């Protein structure tokens, strides 16, 4: 009997970039009553070791592919079934055999081209992502609300305002921008909400930020743990990175980004997205969304 399958070919990208093929495939399989072949998370990388990055990107240790078709059937199906690209899937004709629809990430404009396929499915994908994450890497429920600050350095380029204006991503934003954003947010809220810094940088890179009151670095943990922890925040101040993009999407968390660095809007309610450069106060409608998120997180903490 012939079957229809989906397969996310995640490639050798970083976690945030890789996840879009997985997410697109997950939603497509649900809509088309198809079985999903588990992603191949084992992709040896030497770059993170050569660059001495904190995250070595050994994603095969983080996920178990629970609920997906695994070995040996995955290899058998990829070798024997008819394979078509996701872009051609709507026009495929039934030929009586097994068909595997393949979802791939693109090097450039991956989210601009494909994120619309998963928009509106944040909570569903959040549950699916937690399901395949090994239990020991799931974060604990926070005891009280907090705001998350994601400072991406690592392999990002040195900040160039002209490149930013041209909507070039992967820029190392000035640490002062994170500081100014945090101060402006706390002033608008009228409270010094506890803040956690998630970063691949060293403490020396974060001195101005860590010197502000009621702020600390998140505990050392795997990348997936930090992503899921940020999804529990009341608000995210983030670099132009798809890492905090997924966290905001999963938790539908209000997000502050530098102008032209959001990549794509991820919140179902556009009032939960704003950019900040430093001159003007944060929009009242955005602050209202943060207050609502804070109240909801506070209630969740009381129930746990």
Q: Domain check: are 178 and 106 in the same one? A: no
Q: What is the pLDDT of residue 287?
A: 97
Q: What is the pLDDT of residue 158?
A: 85
Q: Domain check: are 65 and 161 in the same one? A: no
Q: What is the pLDDT of residue 51?
A: 47
Q: Domain check: are 294 and 175 in the same one? A: yes
Query: Which of 112, 115, 85, 110 lies closest to 7 in space, CA to CA?
Result: 85
Q: Which domain holds residue 48?
A: 4-136
β-strands 273-275, 195-199 pairing: unpaired
Q: How many domains does the chain contain in total?
A: 2
Written in H, E and C, the secondary structure of the chain is CCCEEEEEECCCCCHHHHHHHHHHHHHHHHHHCCEEECCCCCCCCCHHHHCCCCCCCCHHHCECCCCCECCCHHHHHHHHCEEEEHHHHHHCCCCCCCEEEEEECCCCCHHHHHHHHCCCCHHHHHHHHHHHECHHHCCCCCCCCCEEEEECCCCCEECCHHHHHCCCCCEECCHHHHHHHHHHHHHHHCCCCCEEEEECCCHHHHHHHHCCCCEEECCCCCHHHHHHHHCCCCEEEECCCHHHHHHHHHHCCCEEECCCCCCCCCCCCHHHEEECCCCCCCCHHHHHHHHHHHHHHHHHHHHC
Query: Which of 206, 20, 251, 214 lies closest to 116 in space, CA to CA?
Result: 20
Q: Domain check: are 154 and 266 in the same one? A: yes
Q: Domain check: are 130 and 161 in the same one? A: no
Q: Domain check: are 71 and 101 in the same one? A: yes
Q: Domain check: are 26 and 121 in the same one? A: yes
Q: What is the pLDDT of residue 156?
A: 83
Query: Which of 103, 131, 111, 140 lies closest to 29 in space, CA to CA?
Result: 103
Task: Using the 3D structure, point to which of 136, 159, 192 is the last residue of a domain.
Answer: 136
Residues of the chain with pLDDT under 50: 49-51, 56
Distance CA 99, CA 291 (A): 48
User: With contact defined as beta carbons under 8 Å apart, do 67 and 131 qualify?
Assistant: yes
Q: Domain check: are 51 and 161 in the same one? A: no
Give the pTM.
Answer: 0.91
Q: Domain check: are 197 and 92 in the same one? A: no
Token pair, residue 11, equals 């490639």
Q: What is the pLDDT of residue 98?
A: 92
Q: Domain check: are 31 and 154 in the same one? A: no
Q: What is the pLDDT of residue 44?
A: 56
Task: Using the 3D structure, point to which of 112, 136, 160 is the last residue of a domain.
Answer: 136
β-strands 235-238, 147-151 pairing: parallel
Q: What is the pLDDT of residue 45?
A: 52
Task: Using the 3D structure, point to which of 136, 154, 171 is the last residue of a domain.
Answer: 136
Q: Domain check: are 75 and 12 in the same one? A: yes
Q: The CATH number of the domain where 189 resides is what? A: 3.40.50
Q: Domain check: are 153 and 121 in the same one? A: no
């Amino acid at each position: 009997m012939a079957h229809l399958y989906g397969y996310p070919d995640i490639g050798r990208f970083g976690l945030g970039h890789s996840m879009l093929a997985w997410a697109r495939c997950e939603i497509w399989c649900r809509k088309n009553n198809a079985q999903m072949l588990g992603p191949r998370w084992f992709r040896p990388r030497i770059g993170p070791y050569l660059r001495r990055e904190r995250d070595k990107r050994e994603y095969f240790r983080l996920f178990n592919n629970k609920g997906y078709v695994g070995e040996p059937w995955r290899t058998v199906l990829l070798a024997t079934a008819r394979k078509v690209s996701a872009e051609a899937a709507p026009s495929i004709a039934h030929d009586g055999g097994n068909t595997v629809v393949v979802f791939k990430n693109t090097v450039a404009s991956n989210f601009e081209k494909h994120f619309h396929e998963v928009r509106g499915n944040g909570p569903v994908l959040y549950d699916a992502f937690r399901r395949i994450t090994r239990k020991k890497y799931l974060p604990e429920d926070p005891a009280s609300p907090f705001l998350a600050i994601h400072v991406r350095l690592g392999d990002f380029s040195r900040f160039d305002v002209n490149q930013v204006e041209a909507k070039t991503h992967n820029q190392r934003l000035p640490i002062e921008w994170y500081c100014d954003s945090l101060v402006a947010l706390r002033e608008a809220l009228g409270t010094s909400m506890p803040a956690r810094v998630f970063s691949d940088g060293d403490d020396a890179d974060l001195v101005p930020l860590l010197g502000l009151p009621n702020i600390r670095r998140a505990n050392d943990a795997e990348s997936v743990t930090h992503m899921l922890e940020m999804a529990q925040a009341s608000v995210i101040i983030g670099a132009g990175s798809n890492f905090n993009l997924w966290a905001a999407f999963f938790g539908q968390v209000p997000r502050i980004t530098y102008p032209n660095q959001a990549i794509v809007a991820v919140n179902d309610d556009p009032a939960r997205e704003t950019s900040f450069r430093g001159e003007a106060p944060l929009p009242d409608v955005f602050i209202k969304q943060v207050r609502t998120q804070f109240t909801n997180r506070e209630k969740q903490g009381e129930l746990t």
